[in-house]
Structures are given as structure tokens and as C-alpha cells.
Structure 1
Amino acid sequence: MTLPTRDFAGRVVGVALVVRLATIMIALVGLVGQTMTGPLLACILVLSAATFAMLMYAQILDFVARHPISLVADILLSLTVVWVLGVESPLVLATFPVALVVGVLTRPAVAVAGAVVLCAGYLVVVMVPPAPAPRGFMTEVGVPALYAALVAIGVAVRSAHEQQVVAARAVSRAEQLTAAADERARLAREMHDSLGKTLHGISLGAQGLAAWVDRDPETARRIATALAEGAERAAREARELLVRLRQDEPDRALVEVLGDICASWQERTGVRCQFTVHDAVDLPIDVRYEALAVVTEALENVHRHADASCVRVSLAHDDDGTVRIRVRDDGNGFDAGTDAASPPGHFGITGMRERASEVDARLRVRSAPGDGTTVELAWEPPDAGDGRRPDGLSDRARALGGAR
């Protein structure tokens, strides 16, 4: 059986103390018009001082949460109040919260023992002078039953909290395993789609090179040149893959990562890149990775083909939950046609479409000669229909929202 978390235990003790203060106030209202005796005043002062001390000093509250055995002192204090004032005093109400705390902070066996001690001690003290209480249902059954019921409620609350903690840990573990599996699958897909194919081509060429060296030196020379180009391409693809993996930092806000990508690209190319954010939002890990890859590919296309003087990258979150990332340049543009396919001999747009399709996102490319190019990735979360925001929205990301 797991122990209650320190935060939970502290909250329970804090709520019990607030309830005790409230019951003291109720008791004082009930005592209006009665004579304030010395024992009554002493009980009020002791209970109030002890309660305020635990509420005002976090160290005391933390000590009680970490060492439930210290509740014995509170049980004794409660029994003393009952003994001094008698069961009919309204101030006896202030002794009930300790029963709830005993049930929450101690193990069930200890809680049962605490309930027995509390009930038995109560029955003993009410029969001992200075003021034995008159016999009756509330004296002999009602109050002890209420103590026992509050302990039982505390045990039930503790059990529910333990189940919640176990379930939360299981969910967290499952999410970690799923994220790790997704990461491995994504890396395998990246290597298969780019690096794997290139290396396979190099392997086939190398197998035939030895046979062509003696048979046809000229063909062997062409094959060797192709192999060198293939090896260079494989090295470049490996570097690009490592750069993309390094850029995907799940512990950082998407706003920060996109801003760093734009700043790094601007520094490397000398082309001005403006990054703006409208209602910043984070994305699930798999969607985030592909989105960053699309942005990186779009910026590289601008650098290689657009001859642009300015690029604008924006991150926006629509009212319907859709997240949009847009890359707009003022470069040469091209005839995108109706399907905005990659120009002959190029595969950038095709690759971006494939990445968007992997995470059920939509990619739209708008371009015309002399009018620049706009690449827009739109992703709608599965629960966007009910008006909720996408998962992953962070205060840190929201705080970083705005123009950069």
C-alpha cells in the first residue's frame, strides 16, 4: 500500500485545521450569553493557539504530515477538552476533525486502532469527574459513532487517493513507453526513407564496381564517381537527420524551438526571417516532430530556390482548435498548379506532404511566378470538435506568445 503524497497529506491537515477553527467560531457563537469560565477560556486558547501555529508555520504542518504518530498529541488534547468541558459543550465540535485526519494520514490498521483509542478514551473521560456527563444516546453512542465514522471516511479518502496515484503513475509510465516507441519508429522511418535507400544504392554500386574495373575501366570510373556522390549524399542526409532530431526538444516550448530555428536559419543564410505567434500552443510529440521538419524543409527550399529577401513564419491557434504553421516568402515563386506538386527533379513539397499525412495534418502550398510561396501546415486535434484546446498547452508557451 502506497503512502499518501506529502502535498495531499498537507492539504488534508490544512483543511482539518480550517474546519477546527470554524467549529471553534461556531462554538463561541453558541456560548453567547453564558459565563466564560476559566477552563472554557483555557480550552479555547489552547485549541486556537495550536491550530494557528500549525497553519502559520509550514514546518509544523509538514512535520505532522510526515509523522502521523504526532496525532497522538492532538487526540489527547481533544480528550482533555471533552473531559474538562463535558460532552454537552459546543466546543467539543472542535475535536472531530482529528478523527478525519487519523483516517487519512495513517494506514488502515493504525487508523482502526486510533478510532478505538479515540472512542474508548472519550467514553472514559466523560465518566470521570469533574463533570460526568448524563447518560444518553448522544453521550454513549452518538459521539463515539461520529468519531468512528469520520475515521472511516478518512480511510476511504486515503484509499481513493492511493488508487489515483497508482493510476497516474501507470498512465505516466504508459505515456513514456509510447513516446519511446514512437521515437524509435520515427527514427527507423527517417533512416529508411532517406539514409537507408542511399546506403542501399551505394552497396549495390560497390558490389558491381570490382567486376567493371577490369572489363570496362570507363564504366568503372563512372560508377566510382556515382559512389562518391552517393556517399556524400548519405553523409549529408545523416547530418540533416541528426539536426532534426536535435531540434525536436520536447522539454522546450514549441514557440522557443521554432524561434531558434528561424534565428539560426537567418544567421546562416543572411535572409531576414520574422517569427510571430498568435495564441501559442504546443503539439503532441509526433505531430510536433513532423511540423518542425516541414518548417525546416520549407526554409531550405526558400534558401535554395526562392531568392527571397524576407521570410515570415507564424504559429497560430484558431478558435476551432486548429493549429496552423505558415511559412511565407517574397521570392521568385513558381507555377504551383492545382495540386502544388514538387517541381521536376525536386522532392521537397512531396516530402512535406508525406510528413503531413503521417500525422493527419493538411499541407497547402500556394505560389505563383514572381509572387512568392506560402507553405501552410494545419493540424486539427481529435477533440477539437468539443471546443477544447489541443493537448500540451503550457503556461510557459503562452507566456512566450506574441511577436518575435
Structure 2
Amino acid sequence: MPPDPKTLLASTTDLATDLARAHTDTPATPAFAIQVNALQAMCRQVFGFRLAMIAIATPYAIAHTAPGLPTWFIGAAILVTFMGSYVLFRDWERFGPVLLRHPWLLAVDALFGSLLLITATPESTLAYVTVCTPLLAGLVQGWRGAAVFAALQVVIVFGVYATVPTLEAGGATGLLLPGFCVIAGAVGVALRNLLLRFGTATQALTETRARLAVNEAVEGERTRLAREMHDSVAKTLHGLALAADGLACSADRMDPPTVRHHAELVARAARRAAAESRELLTDLRREQGLEGGVDLVAELEAQAADFTAHHPVRATFRRLAEDTPVPLVPQAVARHLLTVASEALENAHRHAAPTYLVVLAGVRDDVLRVSVYDDGCGLPAGTTLESLRRAGHFGLVGMVERAASIGARIRIGRGRAKRGTEVRVELPLAALTGVPPPARTPADPVAD
């Protein structure tokens, strides 16, 4: 029994809404993601460094501790610190984001370090494990966090010196560990700033490349129009001039019917030249955006409706981030984006046997995004562009080439869905407007 059209329409609409919400929640700025991932990877390596320090320093610390209860205290502190660091190092993807969203949890890390300082004393090799806390604070929170936790570690060190009569805080030995805490905090801040600047530079380079690609596409259209003007209007006008010259030179030697015939040829050539000129001027105004560019959202919505009208599969259009306006797109760029969307729809219908398709478009984090999703069988495992070329399937290859020609990123795969295929194209807005978006300098970028 075929499904009820109303039920299918309702489920398709709900799915389109869910997909739009998922896209809205998906970050789109690749450079910012690079910053976050690099900082998180660096934080994870800090815990790996701490594990190595504990493994190296533990035998020496245990050997120089009095037997009995002191050894048990040091062993317990080592075990707690080691296991906490090991869990964060091994399952960083699970527990790391919690630490990054709540930087105050570094105080717990400082507490573990203080246990080592109290049980093993600041003069033990294990005491230098505590420098990792200011290092983490510098990576996660910047100079404010590094200053707070470095100062906290220094206070703890001198507090231990003050409460243990057998320890002497004076001299270079007593200042060595506090100095390392301050240096570790400064190193964390320096690494954080370096990674953030690298991400910003990467984003600027990506936007510049996209802007150059858009300009190149527009200039390519100018070249094409100039070539067509040469091949059509220029040749027509040249023939018109020759016909007029011939008529002027031989009009006195021809009878009136012949003169009338030649005059009609000249008039016909003139009308053809005028029509070709009007057509090229119209194309020139449209191609170069002199009429304000193309409303890409309206065009994609019309494209989805047209696809639904001519195919048995329904294509639903949804707008991403409706509160964010989508700028008008130059014709040279819009044509490539619309062609990619059209090719994705046709490919899904021909090869994937879907029951519905969803077209999404909008702006997310200063990036123009166009996406086509189908719930079909998806791409075969191991599919590559080279294998598609060899097999003579140039649809996906053409999409990739079109996206590259305008400086856009394209991703083809399941995405967040359990099945089907999504074709997603992303183009920085700076490539369209020529004005780079304001730099993102959040106070805590790794906490997003």
C-alpha cells in the first residue's frame, strides 16, 4: 500500500526542519575550528607530559622517602594524580570539553598538585609535576588564568615551606619551583596566542583565496562576453559596413529593384547587430551584478519547486538562520552554486532512489552555505574522484571543480545523518562582499 501523501509530506517537512536546526548548530568557520582543535590537542599533550614526568620521578621520590606512613601518603597522591591525568589523556574527547567549558575545574588539578607538594615536599622530583597546572591555565584561559594559577602554585609552595620546619625556602633551590610555575604559565599563554594567530592567518588566507576565485570567475565572464561580442556583433557590424560601402559605390549602376534588395540586406544586418548588442548588454549587466546580483535563496527555492513539479520525488527547501540576511550573489558565482545544487538533485534522483530531498541555504558564521540532502542509498564505500573519472561518472567531479573555481569548500557524504548523501558547499561571505568579517577574538575560544 503506497504511503499517504499527507503523512509523507508532514514527515518530510519535519525532517527538513531537523536538518535546518542541525546545520544551524554546526560551526562553519574552518579557521576557528582549527584553533579549537589545536588548543584541545595541546591540552591533551600536557596531560601526556604529566604522565611521563610522574613515571620518571616516582622511583626517585619513593626511594628517598621514609618507610611506613609517608611512603603510603606519597603513593596515594601519586596514584590519584596519575589516574586523573590518564583518564583525561585517554578519554579527552569525553572529559576534555567539560574541563574546557568549566575552567574552574583547574582548581581541582591544583589540589592534586598540592597533595604531591605536601606529601613529597617541594624538594622532591615529583613537585615539578605541578608546573602543568599553570601551563594548562595559560592554554585554556590566557594570561589571566596563567597569572592566577601560577600565583596559586607559588603560594602553595611557600606555604609548604612555611609549615614544614625541616625545609628551607631561602636560596636558589627554594625559588626554582616557583620560577618554573611562572615560566610554564607564560609558555601556555605564548602557545595559545600562537595557535590563535595561526588560525586567524589561515582564515584570512582562505577568504583571500575565495575572493580571488570569485574575481577570477567574474573576469572569466567578462572575457567570455568580450569573445562573444567579437564573434557576433563585431563581425555583423563589419559585414554591415562592407555591404553599405558596396551599395554606396555601385548604387548609380544598379536598377531600383537591385538597390532596394541591397538596402534591405543592410537594414537586416543592422537589425541583427542591434539585437545582438542588446542581448550582450543584458548579459553583461546580469553577469557583472550591475542589477544587484542574484537572490540565491529565491533561486534555490524555485529550483526545488521546479524539481518537485517534474519528478516523482519531492524536494523541500528550507532556509538556514532566517534572522541572518543572505547577500545578493554575483551571477558568475550564483550560476556555479545553482548548477551544483541542480546536479546534486538530479544525481540523487538517478542513482540513490531517495524518498525525499531537502535543499538548505543560508548564512552561518560569515559563511554562505548551500546543501542538498537525500535519504537514498548513499555513495558506495571507497568512492573517490579518480575512480569516478575512470568510470566516466563526471557529476560529482564537476561539482568539485565548480566549487573550486569560485573558491568554495565542498563536502560530499552522509554528514550527521545515518544514511543518504549530503552535498554541502560553503563560501566565505568576504569573497562576495570584498569586506572581511570582524575577527573573532572570544575570551575563551576553546570553551565553545
Normalised by the size of structure 1, how large is the TM-score? 0.52
Aligned counterpart for 2:212 among listed residues 159, 162, 178: 178
The answer (yes or no) to whether the contact 1:82–1:126 under 8 Å persists in 2 is: no
Query: Deviation of residue 9 (structure 1)?
Result: 1.9
Residues 139, 16 of structure 1: CA spacing in aligned structure 2 closer, same or farther, 3 A cutoff?
Answer: same
Q: Find the aligned partners of 2:34 and 2:387 in 1 and give their Cα distance.
A: 36
Q: Any residues of structure 2 matched to 1:2-401 within 5 Å, and which?
A: 5-31=35-61, 33=63, 35=67, 37-57=71-91, 58-128=93-163, 133-138=167-172, 140-195=174-229, 197-199=231-233, 217-219=260-262, 222=265, 255=386
Residues 30, 4 of structure 1: CA spacing in aligned structure 2 closer, same or farther, 3 A cutoff?
Answer: farther
The residue aligned with 2:441 is none
Identity in percent: 17
Q: Find the aligned partners of 1:226 and 1:255 in 2 and give their Cα distance.
A: 49
Query: Deviation of residue 39 (structure 1)?
Result: 0.9
CA RMSD of superposed structures (Å): 4.9
Query: Deviation of residue 143 (structure 1)?
Result: 0.8
Residues 61, 284 of structure 1: CA spacing in aligned structure 2 closer, same or farther, 3 A cutoff?
Answer: closer
Query: Deviation of residue 83 (structure 1)?
Result: 1.8
Query: Deviation of residue 218 (structure 1)?
Result: 2.7
SS at match of 1:126: helix
Instruction: List alignment gaps of at least 5 residues for structure 2.
Output: 1-31, 248-256, 288-330, 345-383, 396-400, 408-448
Residues 28, 113 of structure 1: CA spacing in aligned structure 2 closer, same or farther, 3 A cutoff?
Answer: closer
The answer (yes or no) to whether the contact 2:43–2:136 under 8 Å persists in 1 is: yes
The residue aligned with 1:322 is none
Of residues 58-67 and 46-55 in structure 1, the stretch that sits farther from structure 2 once superposed is 58-67
Give CA deviations for 1:57-104 in whole Å, capped at 9, x if unaligned.
222112223433321221222123212321133322321222221222
SS at match of 1:127: helix
Instruction: List alignment gaps of at least 5 residues for structure 1.
Output: 266-281, 289-404
Is the radius of gyration larger for structure 1 or structure 2? Answer: 1
SS at match of 1:133: coil
Residues 202, 76 of structure 1: CA spacing in aligned structure 2 closer, same or farther, 3 A cutoff?
Answer: farther
SS at match of 1:49: helix
SS at match of 2:167: coil
Q: Find the aligned partners of 1:264 and 1:43 in 2 and give their Cα distance.
A: 63
Give CA deviations for 1:338-361 in whole Å, capped at 9, x if unaligned.
xxxxxxxxxxxxxxxxxxxxxxxx
The answer (yes or no) to whether the contact 1:100–1:153 under 8 Å persists in 2 is: yes
SS at match of 1:88: coil
Q: Find the aligned partners of 2:101 and 2:240 in 1 and give their Cα distance.
A: 69
Residues 53, 258 of structure 1: CA spacing in aligned structure 2 closer, same or farther, 3 A cutoff?
Answer: closer
Of residues 217-226 and 171-180 in structure 1, the stretch that sits farther from structure 2 once superposed is 217-226
Query: Deviation of residue 157 (structure 1)?
Result: 1.6
Q: Find the aligned partners of 2:160 and 2:268 in 1 and give their Cα distance.
A: 100
Normalised by the size of structure 2, how large is the TM-score? 0.47
The residue aligned with 2:433 is none
Aligned amino acid, residue 80 of structure 2: V
Greater relative contact order, per chain length (Cα 8 Å cut-off, separation 6+): 2
Q: Find the aligned partners of 2:161 and 2:114 in 1 and give their Cα distance.
A: 9
Q: Find the aligned partners of 1:203 and 1:65 in 2 and give their Cα distance.
A: 71
Residues 147, 219 of structure 1: CA spacing in aligned structure 2 closer, same or farther, 3 A cutoff?
Answer: same
User: Greater helix share, 1 or 2?
Assistant: 2
Q: Find the aligned partners of 1:110 and 1:205 in 2 and give their Cα distance.
A: 79
Query: Deviation of residue 164 (structure 1)?
Result: 1.7
Q: Find the aligned partners of 1:227 and 1:256 in 2 and give their Cα distance.
A: 52
SS at match of 1:141: helix
Aligned amino acid, residue 36 of structure 2: R
The residue aligned with 2:318 is none
